[in-house]
Structure 1
Amino acid sequence: MILQDERAKEAARHPAWLQPYLDSPEKQKQLYKKTLFIVILSQIFGGAGLAAGITVGALLAQDMLGTDSMTGFPTALFTLGSAASALLVGRLSQRFGRRTGLAAGFWGGAVGAAGVVAAAVTSSIVLLFASLFIYGAGTATNLQARYAGTDMAASTQRAMAVSLAMVSTTFGAVAGPNLVEIMGEFAHSIGIPALAGPFILAAAAFSLAGLVLFVFLRPDPLIVAKAIASEPKEENAVHLATEPAVNKRGIVAGASVMVLTQLVMVAIMTMTPVHMGHHGHELGEVGLVIGFHVGAMYLPSLITGVLVDKVGRTAMAVAAGAVLLAAGLVSAFAPADSMVLLVIALVLLGLGWNFGLISSTAIIVDATHPSSRAKTQGSVDVLVALAGASGGVLSGIVVAHSSYAALSLAGAMLSLLLIPMVIWSRRS
């Protein structure tokens, strides 16, 4: 009788649809696989939307403003928008689930992209800046979607889950920059400035990403994970590892690695198209370099995920610092007319970011509990976005008053700070 009463109380705590996932490890594994598939599909579209701002945002601002000193502002604006959106998406996800939070974020990014197109048509700087800020919602959501894949993952699967979500972004993110000329021609044919063309693609891509998540991400993995974590451990035979208490030092270490890698990557990446434009490179060549860069940001993720899970979070975070250092040195000393060296520099920059992001994401997931995980992840991504905004603003100012080489050397030196940070984390 007592056992029946306890089971009745457990059933009353959760909706009827949730109970099978609490009782069956096999259904949990099925949900893990289904969630990864849906996240991968949405990330393909999200990556295409993300690429527009990276590739032509600075060039569009340069064209409309007529000065180089403000060319870092587009990146700063959509990364500031990303910061605000990361907090909102994290809070929405914590309260209503990943499905609602992520879909809302992608649709916000689509509205922002459409606003950029309208700003280019009307030559409105105010509308451009406001729309770039809103466009940042898509950037934030594209990044936060990687967490959805970890909600139902065991501790030994988390880096791989992140890597699967990220590598799927490659398809859209690499295709996006290489569609710059095609979208520019299409935009010109319908009376829209060519540089706004990629934002037409971004509006459609972000809309589709949100639709995929809203329609198909059922049941919501975060809601299920929180319910599993709330169950009594002795009665809860699940495939997930027992969740630890919150590890604040782990959160600080993971956030620090993520912030530094984002700061260095955004600063150098933002000014590379402008640097190339000053030295006679065509828009197609800019798209090619950025395409290689974005590919390096995401394509190695499958290997990186395995390494982070097998070799360790700390070792891969140190590797991130070393690769970013090499990227800064190559970009600083490469001749401006050398496409090969520019590609190598930007590939290294993307690879270092990849190592840092996946290792630090795994550190943060390990250090959090499902009951507060999404909110914490959103807060960390706010810091990441603010770091990107700072890198975007400062990069334009540094290059305007010094040089692209000086900016790259500064990024190389900053990347060295990753090493003492992860050593401190390991000692902790």
Structure 2
Amino acid sequence: MGSLQQDRTEPDIARVQRRTLVVLGGGVALAGLGVTVGITAGGLLARDVAGTDAASGLGQTAGVLGAAVLAVPLARISDSAGRRAGLAVGYGISVLGAVVTVAAAAASSLALLLVGLFLFGASTACGLQSRYAAADLASPERRGRDLSLVVWATTLGSVVGPNLASPGAVVGESLGLPALGGVFVVSAVVFAVVAAGFVLLLRPDPLLLARRLGGGSSGPRPRRATGAALRAVWAAPQGPVGLVAVVVAHSVMVGVMVMTPVHMGHAGGDADGVLRLVGLVISVHVAGMYLFSPVVGLLADRVGAPAVVGLGGFLLLSAAAVAGTAGPADPAQLAIGLLLLGLGWSCGLVAGSALVTASVGPDLRPTAQGGTDLLMGLGAALAGVIGGPLLAWGGFGLVTAVSAVLVVPLAVVLLTTPRRQRSR
């Protein structure tokens, strides 16, 4: 009787998982348009509102910090009410953030702008949670494939999104708003559609269904569980490599990427033309981040995740050298540098995340992954904070040089890993 019941249940779960992947993939692809168009314009808008390059990094930092901080309450909502609730609330907060950002642009208020961009960061946190949602009902042998489908969906929206900055500026001008503020009108509409889509279509909720089937735990979470999980990762032989790789790769990527549009803005000329070139360069960068992620994962399986982490560190250093020597009116060299930056980020994030996951048992994995993402976001926020002053003091070359120095801790951990393994 149990076997018959299992036979009846498995096809239903497979059907629900296929539907879940379609809904998640479509939502993430559409949301990517709003996320990356905001990334393209956020630093430029902060510079225009504040009137100084030193403030340009604050806008992107607010968004990165928002993604890190808001991920915690959004995860709690998902934990108690399901993925549908967590994602819908997150994208709802993103709509509010985009609206506040538009109001800040109209009022030329830096303080209000930072609040809006902080709330806007919820969209990035939702993108990460969407990948986890793809694995809730996935069978173990298909979990990686299902996750990669959502990553590819992210690629579609993220590559196209930056090129909507120029049309978004036209929308803003037609509404009587500052050009860059109009970009966030596009984001607000996109996030509202995605939130509504998840509420209506993400049924049954994958996390709640997985728990009913015995695929997860709904028990109370102990206090300070994140710290304990991170200590367990650090105690594992290769755990430090994974943890440092994720934090360093994301910090270097954000530190260089968010200052690139501001650097290109110094080329002068037609503002609309500059926005188009910025959108093209960021699109190339995002393609490097996401487009080859399945290949990176396969390479980590074949040659080992630590080797891929080392490759990522080399690519990050190469990106700093190539981009850091490019002038503001050299979009081709900047595009090459940011392509390498995206590839280095992909290697560090994918291989590092695999090492973090392998460092602890199943009971600690979700908490360890969440703690890693929090550290990753805080590191990126710090990189964004110092990026603006560095650009004002020493130019884009100083930004990329400091970013290259951040790779040193990763090299140290990589070199000491064989010794840790022998000692254990």
Q: Deviations over 1:187-235 (max 9, x none)?
A: 101101111122111111222222232322233333344443469xxxx
What residue number does 2:226 align with?
A: none
CA drift at 1:113? 0.7
Report the Cα distance in structure 2 between the residues aligned to 1:417 and 1:215, rounded to whole angstroms: 46
Q: What runs of 5+ residues in structure 2 fail to find an aligned partner?
A: 218-230
Contact 1:175–1:291 under 8 Å retained in 2: yes
- Asked whether 1:345 is paired with 2:337, we answer yes
Indicate how the Cα distance of structure 1 residues 128 and 385 shifts in structure 2: closer, same or farther if over 3 A, else same.
same
Choose the corresponding residue for 1:39, options 19, 24, 34. Answer: 24
The amino acid that maps onto 2:247 is V
Q: Deviations over 1:111-130 (max 9, x none)?
A: 10111011112222222121
Deviation, 1:66, is: 0.7
Counterpart CA distance in 1 for 2:58 and 2:216 is 45
| Contact residue 63 and residue 117 of structure 2 kept, 8 A | yes
Task: Work out the CA distance in 1 between the residues paired with 2:53 and 2:116.
Answer: 20
Q: Which of 198, 214, 217 is residue 228 of structure 1 equivalent to?
A: 214
TM-score, scaled to structure 1: 0.84
Q: Deviation of residue 370 (structure 1)?
A: 6.3
Q: Rate the CA distance shift 1:102–1:307 in 2: closer, same or farther, 3 A.
A: farther
- Cα displacement (A) at 1:324: 1.1
Q: Distance in 2 between matches of 1:20 and 1:422?
A: 49
> Could you tell me how far apart the structure 2 residues matched to 1:201 and 1:63 are?
19
Whole-angstrom distance in 2 between the partners of 1:365 and 1:99: 25
Letter in 2 for 1:260: V
Matched position secondary structure for 2:136: coil
> For 2:210 and 2:378, how far apart are their aligned partners in 1?
29
CA 1:372–1:36 in structure 2 vs 1: closer, same or farther (change >3 Å)?
Answer: farther
For the pair 1:83 / 2:68, whether they are aligned, the reply is yes
Corresponding position of 1:358: 350
Describe the shift of the 1:311–1:219 C-alpha distance in structure 2 as closer, same or farther (beyond 3 A).
farther
Q: TM-score, normalised by structure 2?
A: 0.85
Partner amino acid, structure 1, of 2:258: T
Shift of 1:415: 2.6
- Match of residue 54 from structure 1: 39
* CA distance in 2: counterparts of 1:124 and 1:328, whole angstroms: 33
* TM-superposed deviation, 1:266: 0.5
**Secondary structure of 1:95's match?**
helix
Alpha-carbon distance in structure 2 between the residues aligned to 1:251 and 1:34: 35
Query: For the structure 1 residues 230 and 128, does the alpha-carbon distance in structure 2 shift closer, same or farther, using more than 3 Å as the test?
Result: closer
1:280 to 2:236 alignment: no
2:258 is paired with a residue of what secondary structure?
helix
Match of residue 129, structure 1, among 92, 114, 124: 114
**Equivalent pair of 2:241/2:410 in contact (CA under 8 Å):** no
Verify: 1:316 aligned to 2:308, yes or no: yes
Partner of 2:104 in structure 1? 119
Provide the secondary structure at the position in 1 that maps to 2:53.
Answer: coil
**Separation (CA, whole Å) in 1 of partners of 2:119 and 2:381:** 14
* Counterpart check, 1:255 vs 2:214: no
The Cα of 1:95 is off from its aligned counterpart by 2.4
CA separation of 1:156/1:251 partners in 2, compared to 1, >3 Å: closer, same or farther?
Answer: farther
* Unmatched tracts of structure 1, length 5 or more: 8-18, 232-245
Higher relative contact order (CA 8 A, sep 6+): 1
Post-superposition shift, 1:106?
1.5
Partner of 2:53: 68
Contact 2:26–2:153 under 8 Å retained in 1: yes
Matched residue type, 1:274: V
Supply the RMSD in Å over aligned alpha carbons: 2.8
Choose which of 134, 148, 172 in structure 2 pairs with 1:149: 134
The equivalent of 2:378 in structure 1 is 386
In the alignment, structure 1 residue 204 sits paired with structure 2 residue 183: no
Count of equivalent residues = 398
Please give the alpha-carbon distance, in whole angstroms, between the structure 1 residues aligned to 2:165 and 2:216. Answer: 48
User: Which among 253, 264, 270 is matched to residue 258 of structure 2?
Assistant: 270
- Tell me which amino acid in the other structure corresponds to 2:254: V
* Cα-to-partner distance string for 1:13-49 (whole Å, 9 max, x where unaligned): xxxxxx9789844444444433322221111122112
Partner Cα distance (2:110, 2:296) in 1: 41
Query: Is the 1:314–1:422 contact (alpha carbons within 8 Å) kept by the matching residues of 2?
Result: yes
Give the percent of matched residue pairs that are identical in Structure 1 and Structure 2. 36
CA distance in 2, matches of 1:153, 1:252: 28
- Residues 247 and 57 of structure 1: CA distance in aligned 2, closer, same or farther (over 3 Å): same
Distance 1:259 1:22 in 2: 44
User: What are the superposed Cα offsets for residues 339-376 of structure 1, whole Å, 9 maximum, x if unpaired?
Assistant: 21111001111111122222233344445666665454
Q: Deviations over 1:105-153 (max 9, x none)?
A: 1111111011101111222222212111111111221233222222334
Q: CA offset at residue 424 of structure 1?
A: 5.8
Q: Distance in 2 between matches of 1:400 and 1:21?
A: 64
Which residue of 163, 168, 178 corresponds with 1:183? 168
Q: Deviations over 1:158-179 (max 9, x none)?
A: 4433332122112221222111
